Chain A
Amino acid sequence: MKVRFRFSKLGKVRFTSHRDLARMWERAFRRVALPLAYTQGFSPRPRVSFGLALPTGAESVAEYLDVELAAGTSADVAALPGRLSPVLPTGIDVLATATLEAGAASLQHEVTSCSWLVETSGLSPDELQERVAAALAAGSLEIDRERKGQRSVQDVRPGILACEVDGTTLVAELATQPRALRPSELLIAVAGGLEEVRVRRTSQWIQRDGARQEPIRLSTDATDAPHAVRRAS
C-alpha cells in the first residue's frame, strides 16, 4: 500500500535542508509505529520518495511525500495527519493524505510546475512592475545557471509560466520540466540587485485530462492552508 502525504514547511524549520527533512519524517514514522517497507541490503532504508526538493530557507504549504507501507499492512489513511503532525517539528504539518494506486507515477515525473510567492527587496513596487513586464515581454532571458558545478548560459523565459506583481511580492508559476526553475533564478532573470526576502511554495501542479491540478487537493483553499500557517508561525 502506498500513501501520499501533503505537508507544510513553515516558520523557523524552513532553514532545515531536504536531507534533514527526510530524517525528521523517518523518526516520526517510527514514533507512531507506522510499518514501512524497507529497501534491501546492507543498510536498509525506508521506501519513501519526496517530490521536488525545496530550497533550504523556502517555505511551503505544498510539499509531498510518497511512502510505501510494509507488505501486508495497511493504515487508516484519513487518521494519519492527526497522528503524525504532533510528532513532527513545529512548522511541519500534515495537511492531507491519499492512497496511491499501484503503479502511480512518481511526483518527480508528474509535477510540471510550481506556484510561488516571492517577497523581494531592492526595487520599489513600480520599478518591480516595470521590470517584470519587460521580462515577460522578452523573447528570451538568458542567465548563468549552475548545476552540479557545471555552469552554462540558458534561456529561462520558457520556464516562467506566469508572473504577477503584488507590491514587492512576485506571484509566479515556474516550470519544473525539463529542469526546475528556481525562484532565485527568476529574480536574476527579472532584474539584477533584486533580493529574495521570503519565498513560499504554494502549489505543485500535475496535468490531468488537459487541466492542471494539485497531486492532493485540500478541502479549503489550497494556496492558503491557513491553519498550518498559523500553527507554524
Chain B
Amino acid sequence: MDPIRSFRGDGGDQFLPVHIQLGEDRRSQLGELRRAPGLLGLLEPGEQAAHSVVIGDEKGQCVLVVRSDGTHRTYPHAIRGKPLQGGICLPGCSLGPAHRPNGSRRYTFSQMTSLWPRIEPILAKVQKPARYIGCEDGAQEPVHAPHKVAWLLVYPDAYEIGLPNQGLQILYEILNERPDAVAERSYAPWTDMEAELRRRGVPLFSVDTHRAAGDFDLIAFNLSAELVYTNVLNCIDLAGVPVRAAERGPEHPLIAAGGHCTFNPEPLADFVDLFVIGDGEEAVAEVTEAVAAWKTGGRGAGSRQRVLRDLAGVPGVYVPSMYDVAYDGERLVSVTPRFADVPERVEKRTIADLNEWPYPKNQLVPLTEVVHDRLNVEIFRGCTRGCRFCQAGMITRPVRERSSEQVRSMVSAGLQRTGYDEVSLTSLSSADYSGIEDVVGGIITDPMCQGSVGVSLPSLRVDAYTVGIASEIAKVRRTGLTFAPEGGTWRMRQVINKLIREEDLYGAAESAFSQGWQRMKLYFLIGLPTETDEDVLGIAELARRCAAIGHKHSRRVTVGASVGGFVPKPQTPFQWFGQDTAAYLRAKVNLLKDTVRRDRGVTLKWHDPQATLAEGLASRGDRRMGAVIEDVWRNGGVFQEWSEHFDIRLWESAMERNGLSIDWYVYRHRTEDEVLPWDHISAGLHKDFLWQDWQDALAASGVEDCRWTPCYDCGACTGFGIEHVVASPVPPAGGSQGTGQDLSTGGTVPVRLLASKPVLTP
C-alpha cells in the first residue's frame, strides 16, 4: 500500500518520516526501538518504507536514525534546521528535492505524520498547554499499520473533564490489546487552542502520537451529556471531515458515538454514521472487524455505503442513514429501516459478567489537574433502585456486581501502579454493593496502603448506616458528605421513587455531625412531575432541619443545598412529562432563595434554568433537532455546558430559524399513543412497563428494588436472558431506600396533569 495517501498543500513544509523498516535480522532490536523517543510507528515485516527514516524528538534533536537497510546510528548533537549528513532529514526540516518523490510539491505522509512540530509552537500561547501533550502514565503509543483499524476515541469536552472518563479508557485498552486495532485519544480543544489551530490550518489531533484525526478510520465520540453536542460537530469539522454524514466520501473516517446519550441518537443522526447502544466492550470487536474489511478492501467508491450497511447488521449498532423518518406536521409518524436486513429496532448491548472485563487495567494518570483525579474501580454496573428520573439507572439494567476478590486486586494493583492515595469505588449506588463494608475495610487496613489511602463512594444512599461506612473511611481523610434526597417531601419522593424517609436523612445528619463532620451537601431536583410549592419549600425545610441537627454539635456546621432543574430523559418513566419552563424554574429558585435567606448555616446553589431548557431540547429532540444543533454550532456555540460559553439566545434563535417550537419539544406533555423519536432504540425496557411506572408516579406510588424482591418484568433481564449478578440475597443492612418501607401511603387516584404548563413572567 502506498504510504502517501494524500497531499496537504496547506503549508505542510515539514517532512516527518516516522515509520521504520527493519530487516528480519534486526527484529531483536524492536524492544529497544519501541522505547526510542519520538518513535511514532514501526512497520510490520513485509511492509515497505519509502525512505530511510529518522526518529527525532520534538526539538529536532535527532537521537536515533534507522536507515532502510536496517543499520542505525545515533546523532545526539543534532541541531534543529541543519540536515544531517547522508541525506537524512530531521523533523522540522524540509527534505531535499532528491528525496521528494515528485520533487516539486511539499507534502507530508498523511498516515505517517506527527503534527507535534506544528502543535508545539502553539502551546506557548494557550492556557493549560498540558491538556494537549498526552504523556500520561498508562498512555499508549500504538503502532499503526494498514491491516489495523485505527480508532480515535474523542471525549467532546475539555481534557480535564474527559480524561477520567472510564468508558473511554476501557475501550482504549480493549482496542489496543487487539491485533487488528489501534486506539488513540483526543479531547475538545479549548477555544484559545481552537483559534490557533484554525489560524494555522492544523487539524484536530490525537494526544498519544499527535496524529491528525482525519488519518484514523473511525472517530468515536463518548456522549455523556447532551450539551456537548455542538462540540461534537466542532471536533468533526476540526478533523477536516464534513459535519453532515451525507456529504462524506470513502476518504473520510467513519464517525461513531457511544455512551448514555445515544439512547436517543436522533438529534445527532445527521452527523454520526453509527451509534453503538449500550455496553461497548464486546461491540467494538464486531465494529472493528467490519471496518477492517472496508479498510483492507481499499475504501473504494461506494464502499462507505456498503460498510455502513454491514455495520447496521451488528447487534447494538444503529446506522441512522439506513432509516427513513416520516412526519405528519409536527408529529413524528415513523422511523423505518430502508432495507430488509436492517433491524426495525436496535437492542442495546449488555455484557453479562463484569468479571470478564477487569478494565481499565492501566488507568491513565494525568500529569495535570483533572476532575476525579484518583483511582477509579467500577464495583458494579446497573441499578434497580428504580428512581424514575434517572436515565442511567433505567438504561444500564440489570445489576452486575464485580466479585469482591477482583475489586480488591484491582484496587491494590491500581494503587501500587499509579501512586494515588485515593480510590473511588464507582457505581450508581455504591453502598448497595454486597459486602461493601468488607471491601472498604480491606482497603483502609491493607498494610500496603500504610493506612493512608482514602476511599470515596459516589452516590451514597441516605441513611445512618452509610454514614457508618463513611466514618470508617474518614479515619484516613475526611471530606464533605454528599446525599441526594432529590425531592423535598415524602410525597415528592414517592412520585420519583427515591424512597428516602425524613428519619433516614435526619439519622444520617445526626450520625455525621456527631462524628465531627462540618459540611453536608444535599442534592435536589426542581421541576419534577406534580411538584407544588409545598414540595419546593420542603427542600428548604430539610436543609434547615439538617443544619439544626448539626448546630447541636458545632456552630460551624453548614448544609449546602444544590438545586438542579429536572430534564425528562428518554427511556425513563418520565419521558412523557412536559419539562418546567425556564421562567417557572426560576420562580421556584427564587422561592427557595427567599426562604433560606435568613437561615444560619444553609447555603443554596442552583443550576441555570436556561441551560436546563437547552438540555431539554437536545435530550428529547427528534432528527429535526440536528439543524438546530448545527445552527448553534455555526453561530459559535461551543462548550455549552460551561456557563462562560453558554448562550440561550443561540438556541432560541436557532429554533426560530428552523421553524421549530420550544413549547412542542420541551414543555409539552407527551401522550401514550405518541411515537417517540427513540422508540426504535431499545434499552430492554418494555414501553408498557415505563407507562405503568409513569402512572404509578402520578399516583405517588413507589415500587421496591427488584434485586431483592420479585420481578415486575421491566424487560431488562427477560429480554436479554441475563439476570442480576448480586452476591447477597438480602438487601444491605439499613438500606431502607426502596425496600421494606410502608408504601401504602401513595394515592390511588393518579394526579391529572394540566394540559399546558403554567406560564409565569420572570
Contacts and interface: CB of A to CB of B under 8 A. Distances in A.
Interface string A22-37: 0110111111010000
Given A11-B57, A11-B58, A16-B130, A27 B418 contact: yes
Given A24-B367, A57-B124, A15 B133 contact: yes
The interface centre, meaning the residue of B58, B130, B420, B421 with most chain A CB atoms within 10 A of its CB, is: B130
Interface in A83-122: 87, 89-91
Contact of A89 (B59, B123, B135, B421): B135
Interface string B118-139: 0001011000011011110100
Contact of B419 (A17, A20, A87, A230): A87
Contact of B58 (A12, A16, A17): A12
A111 to B, nearest CB: 25
B129 A57 contact: yes
A28 B130 contact: no
B206 to A, nearest CB: 14
B471 to A, nearest CB: 16
B132 to A, nearest CB: 8
A208 interface: no
B244 interface: no
Contacts of A28: 419
Interface in B401-420: 416-420
Contact of B365 (A17, A27, A42, A43): A27
B416 A42 contact: no
Interface in B52-71: 57-59, 61, 63
A214 interface: no
B37 interface: yes
A89 B367 contact: yes
A43 B76 CA distance: 45
A26 B135 contact: no
Nearest to A32: B419
A191 B352 CA distance: 67
A42 B130 contact: no
A87 B124 CA distance: 27
Nearest to B136: A89
Contact of B37 (A23, A26, A197, A230): A230
A33 B416 CA distance: 9
A91 B130 CA distance: 14
Contacts of B477: 43
Contacts of B134: 12
Nearest to B38: A233
Contact of A13 (B38, B135, B420): B135
A197 B420 CA distance: 35
A20 B137 contact: no
Nearest to B57: A233
B368 interface: yes
Given A233-B61, A233-B63, A15 B37 contact: no
B369 interface: yes
A134 B209 CA distance: 44
A197 to B, nearest CB: 8
B interface SS class = loop
Contact of B135 (A31, A90, A197, A230): A90
A27 B367 CA distance: 10
B478 interface: yes
A15 B130 contact: yes
Contacts of B59: 11, 198, 233
A82 B240 CA distance: 45
A187 interface: no
B416 A20 contact: no
A52 interface: no
Contacts of A29: 419
Contacts of A87: 419
A16 B416 CA distance: 23
A231 interface: yes
B37 A196 contact: no
Nearest to B418: A27
A229 B133 contact: no
A30 B419 contact: yes
Contacts of B137: 89
A198 B123 CA distance: 11
The interface centre, meaning the residue of A16, A23, A33, A233 with most chain B CB atoms within 10 A of its CB, is: A233
The interface centre, meaning the residue of B133, B134, B450 with most chain A CB atoms within 10 A of its CB, is: B133
Contact of A15 (B129, B365, B419): B129
The interface centre, meaning the residue of A12, A30, A229 with most chain B CB atoms within 10 A of its CB, is: A12
Interface residues of B, number: 31
A194 to B, nearest CB: 14
A147 interface: no
A114 to B, nearest CB: 19
Interface string A165-176: 000000000000
Contacts of A196: 124
Contacts of A198: 59
A54 interface: no
A232 interface: yes
A19 B133 CA distance: 16
B406 to A, nearest CB: 22
Interface in B97-142: 121, 123-124, 129-130, 132-135, 137
Given A19-B369, A229-B61, A233-B38, A13 B421 contact: no
A56 interface: yes
A16 B38 CA distance: 19
Contacts of A229: 61, 76
A77 B142 CA distance: 36
A8 to B, nearest CB: 13
B130 A17 contact: yes
Nearest to B64: A230
Interface in B18-77: 37-38, 57-59, 61, 63, 76
B368 A231 contact: no
B133 A231 contact: no
Contacts of A20: 130, 367-369
Interface string B418-432: 111100000000000
Nearest to B132: A15
B15 to A, nearest CB: 19
A196 B58 CA distance: 16
Contacts of B420: 27, 30
Contacts of B38: 233
Contacts of B369: 19-20, 23
A26 B419 contact: yes
A20 B366 CA distance: 9
Given A226-B76, A229-B61, A12 B124 contact: no
Interface string A196-233: 11100000000000000000000000000010011111
B419 A27 contact: yes
B478 to A, nearest CB: 7
B65 to A, nearest CB: 14
Contacts of A90: 37, 135
Contacts of B37: 11, 90, 230-233
A16 B367 contact: yes
B129 to A, nearest CB: 4
A233 B59 CA distance: 7
Contacts of A12: 58, 133-135
Nearest to B79: A167
A42 B419 contact: no
A30 B417 CA distance: 10
Contacts of B416: 31
A122 B132 CA distance: 26
The interface centre, meaning the residue of A15, A28, A56 with most chain B CB atoms within 10 A of its CB, is: A15
B490 to A, nearest CB: 36
6 contacts: A12-B58, A13-B367, A15-B132, A15-B133, A27-B420, A197-B121
In the A-B complex, the 3 residue pairs with the closest CB atoms:
A27-B419, A233-B57, A15-B129
Given A13-B133, A26-B421, A28-B419, 4 more contacts: A56-B129, A87-B419, A89-B137, A232-B37
